[in-house]
Amino acid sequence: MASDKVKDVSDADFASVTGSDTPCLVDFWAPWCGPCKAIGPVVEALADEYDGKVTIVKMNVDDNPATPGKFGIRAIPTLILFKSGEKVDQVTGAVGKAQLVELIKKAL
């Protein structure tokens, strides 16, 4: 079911992926988080819709502790929108598609 459009990022390649001029939405998740699973299909649908305009990636917070720590993430799912390496805005929780579209539009 996982879309190949939502690639995994790690602490190691986080800066290069989010540093691009193309806006980048990062879905911070973990395997033990039910709401993360709930938001997965929505994120995958958005990756299809915004293909080429927004890079949508996911980061497993279990495997990558540094980046979530840096952004003060204390709850998942948290989705943070970046442009040119700068944080634009973020949402937390299994929000609906409309709210994520609203977030993405802030960088378009």
Minimum CB distance to another protein, residue 21 (Å): 27
Beta bridge partners of 8: 58
Which is closer to another protein, CB of 22 or CB of 91?
91
CA 6 remoteness from chain centre: 9
Q: 25, 36, 43, 76: which is the annotated catalytic residue?
A: 36
Task: Closer to another protein by CB, 22 or 33: give it.
Answer: 33
Q: Cα–Cα distance between 62 and 28 in angstroms, integer?
A: 10
What residues line the site for another protein (CB under 8 A)? 30, 32-42, 45, 62, 72-78, 90-94, 96-98
Identity of the residue, 12 or 75, whose beta carbon is nearer to another protein in the bound complex: 75
At residue 58, φ and ψ (nearest 5 deg) are -130, 150
Q: Is the dihedral of CA 92, 97, 98, 100 positive or negative?
A: positive
Catalogue the active-site residues.
Answer: 33, 36
